[in-house]
A and B are shown apart, each in its own frame.
Chain A
Amino acid sequence: MTAMSTSEAVMASTPRAPLPGVWRISLSRGGVELKSFFRERQSVVFILALPAVMLVLLGTIFGGEHTGPGVSIGDLYVAGLIGGGVMATSYQNLGMSVAFDRERFTLKRLRGTPMPAAAYFAGKVIQVLVAAIAETVVLGGVGLAFYHLRLPASLAAWWTFTWVFVLGVAACSLLGVAASSVVRSAARNGVAVITLPFVVLQFISGVYVPFYLVPPWLRDIASVFPLEWMCRGMRSVFVPQAVTLEPGHSWQHGQTALALTAWIVAGLVLCLTTFRWQNRRDR
């Protein structure tokens, strides 16, 4: 076996420099993705700025109302929109950008180079992580400046934040990549396929409307999808005193981790079975 692969290597070898490493190419992809994202007005406005604008608006209109012991609606909005912002920067962002990459032949062009496929996705991961962190910082800043957001003091709460953030980004990114395959043209049906389901989920998952005000049957539907669990996790971190408003008076961290992990597995399977380097009509 070893002898065979050695002789194959000798046959294939030409006096050429070694291929650049996956990590180096991944970082280079990440740089290109970040430049493209932050230079595109469309993505900065609709993905980065929109949740912050919504937070200011909703908080201004409803934020002063108190809903329970030491809980204002404004506090709930900060936590909910952080959850929504994480999904915007992962699911919505990737759903559209991968569809554009397919439509504008970025994927096809890269496929014709020695870039390893993993580096393309690594570049997306870098871009999504930077955007999601930036989004969370912006929303947290708005919360600190205009509402009564208190940053968690305990290490346990930061740990919760970290795993909810990471699992949420992973699940929503995979779903975004999978959803991009349904988009025939980002400009024509991207909004219907990517944005519309996301807006509906934000209304029923505790982003635009406090979760305890959502009718129970809609809450049950919301609980099928990852966004509800991400918002719940964020509430447990940033508004821990609101636990009395939660269904079952519990944050259900175990179920949150389970639901998000299940979506990661489902999203991965969807990506592996549906991902295409070219548009369907080009086949």
Chain B
Amino acid sequence: MTTEWAVRARGLRKRYGGTVAVDGIDLEIAPGEVFALLGPNGAGKTTTVEILEGYRDRDDGEVSVLGVDPQRAGRDWRARIGIVLQLASDAPELTVAEMVSHFAGLYPDPRRPAEVIELVGLAGKARARIHTLSGGQARRLDVALGLIGRPELLFLDEPTTGFDPEARHAFWDVVRVLSGGGVTVLLTTHYLEEAAALAGRVAVLRDGVIVAAGTPADLGGRASAAAVVSWHGGDGWRSERTEEPTRVVGELAARYGGEVPGLTVTRPSLEDVYLDLIGGRQ
């Protein structure tokens, strides 16, 4: 047993009937890291995360989460993790404050309910019944319930689905605050920009396997990929693919004696790389 990694999985496999959902995943997440699992619906993200959360049993492989096998974990382990569920809608007749306080009572060393309600931006709704909350507010309550136990590791499964852009940015700020406080975060999302905004490292899942992993900046070899230099020649748009864009731009500048008309230098965007990886361009 080692607690060097917050999460470590080796050869993780899970099938439902004849369908293989997770087909041999290796994963390592360091303490304090924000790690994103990215992929289209049905790629195996939720299955992977639910195995790590202890909700599902794996068919094969080794898993250690905070040094413990989730399949055999007990109350002590559950007190150290926080789970933000997708689309929960329970206890409609309780107030926000009642619900958060109740969950605080389940943990040995909870955060103060008022503090957590404030953090997720629900202070004005603390006395509102849960069924009166908007979709985004209900989601923030889910986040509050995931945080209340002062987790070392937080699971966020598609946390901002259905958020408007403003709510999404507010939520990202909450994650950054937590991460700054040393919490390890495992995020699943199908929003590329969310992974890029929050995660230090990203793994892209497709058909139950990891097809790429790395920092958002150099995912899929993006940082070293060939650049494309484009400009407007006298008779139309020209472009040149090159490993040395600076040299090409220098030559162009010399040729035009200053400003190059319509000059752009582009590398494949994260989205280009991602779509290639998940086969969205086939």
Contacts and interface: CB of A to CB of B under 8 A. Distances in A.
B276 interface: no
B102 to A, nearest CB: 5
A25 B93 contact: no
Interface residues of B, number: 33
A35 B93 contact: yes
Nearest to A115: B106
Interface string B38-67: 000000000000000111100000000000
B93 A112 contact: no
B281 interface: no
Interface in B67-111: 75-76, 78-81, 83, 85, 87-94, 98, 102-103, 105-109
Interface stretch (A15-23, A48-56, A82-90, A185-193): A15-23
Contact of B102 (A14, A32, A40): A32
A113 interface: yes
Nearest to B82: A112
Interface stretch (A101-109, A170-178, A244-252): A101-109
A106 B75 CA distance: 18
B107 A114 contact: yes
A36 B93 contact: yes
B79 A16 contact: yes
Contacts of A28: 102, 105-106
B108 A106 contact: no
A35 B107 contact: no
B16 interface: yes
Contact of B76 (A109, A114, A283): A114
A11 interface: yes
A114 B78 contact: yes
A114 B79 contact: yes
B220 interface: no
Contacts of B87: 105
Secondary structure at the B interface, as helix, strand, loop or mixed, is loop
Contacts of B107: 20, 113-114
Contact of B53 (A36, A112, A115): A112
Given A19-B79, A105-B85, A108-B85, A113 B106 contact: yes
B48 to A, nearest CB: 15
A114 B108 contact: yes
B147 to A, nearest CB: 12
B106 A40 contact: no
Nearest to B78: A114
Given A19-B75, A114-B75, A114-B107, A105 B102 contact: no
A10 interface: no
Contacts of B102: 28, 31-32
Contact of B90 (A19, A25, A106, A113): A106
A16 B108 contact: yes
Contacts of A109: 83, 85, 88, 90, 145
Nearest to A25: B106
Contacts of A35: 93-94, 98
Nearest to B81: A112
A40 B103 CA distance: 21
6 contacts: A16-B108, A16-B109, A101-B90, A105-B85, A109-B88, A114-B108
Given A112-B81, A114-B75, 15 more contacts: A14-B80, A19-B76, A19-B108, A20-B106, A36-B91, A104-B90, A105-B87, A105-B90, A106-B90, A111-B55, A112-B53, A114-B79, A114-B108, A114-B149, A116-B75
- Listed from nearest, the 4 A-B pairs whose CB atoms lie closest are A106-B90, A39-B93, A112-B83, A114-B75
